[in-house]
Amino acid sequence: MIRHGIVEENARAVLYGTMDVPLCETSLVNEAPIYRALACRLPREAAWRVTPLSRTRRTAEAIFAAGYPAAPLAAEPALSEQALGEWQGLRHAELPPRLTLAAHAFWPLGGEERPPGGESMADVIERVGGRMEELARALPEQDIVVVSHGGAIRAAVAHALRIAADNALHLAVQNLSLTRLERHVDAWRVVCVNELPGY
């Protein structure tokens, strides 16, 4: 799993969740060595998955442009970012008065906080974990590269390790970092989290 590239500056000022915000063009150029490192590092002949949000597709395309042989990109809505409902688009400073639970030390919301019309991190773990199991059954022995989002990748690791939502929010998932999960019979193994290729 790879977290998409850095989004444009204005989007970073708000809780963008499942809003379709573009990647930062300057960062695409500046981080060319990371895209090249990913292109070399990722398994060949993998099945590629992106989410319906353009930032994941654009990240995959940048990896192809950096040297990975282009592959079909299938959209996986179930591997999308946490939906923040009515809180999407709020500036970070506007959120605290709206919280019903304590904020997390490393995320604006606690793991069980469900925004109006949105989902909690616990919900994301259930959604992402369910799709991981389906993909493992549908594509046994197949490498899968998923370009996704920080919240969804935390959720995938939480599912693999069977940890709670608040614990999952302690995981750092930087843009363009690589997280490797392996499925062995009926158990998951976490090989690495937040690896920055080329560093």
Planar angle of CA 128, 133, 136, nearest 5 degrees: 120
pLDDT tens figures, 108-138:
899 999 999 999 999 999 999 999 999 999 9
- Lookup result for tokens 């592959």: 71
Does residue 199 have a pLDDT over 90?
A: no
DSSP string over 129-155? HHHHHHHHHHSTT--EEEEE-HHHHHH
Q: Which of the two residues, 36 and 101, has the higher pLDDT score?
A: 36
Q: Report pTM.
A: 0.95
For β-strands 73-75 and 144-148, DSSP reports them as unpaired
The CA–CA distances, whole Å, from 5 to 68, 125, 135, 177 equal: 16, 22, 24, 9
What per-residue confidence (pLDDT) applies to 157? Answer: 98
Domain count, the chain: 1
Does residue 46 have a pLDDT over 70?
A: yes
CATH number, residue 132: 3.40.50.1240
Helix (H, G, I), strand (E, B) or coil at 11: helix
DSSP 68: S
Report the phi/psi class of residue 198: left, alpha or beta, with left for phi > 0 and alpha for psi in -120 to 50. left
Which residues form the domain of 10? 2-195
Query: Interhelix angle for 32-41 vs 54-65, to 10°?
Result: 80
For β-strands 2-3 and 144-148, DSSP reports them as parallel
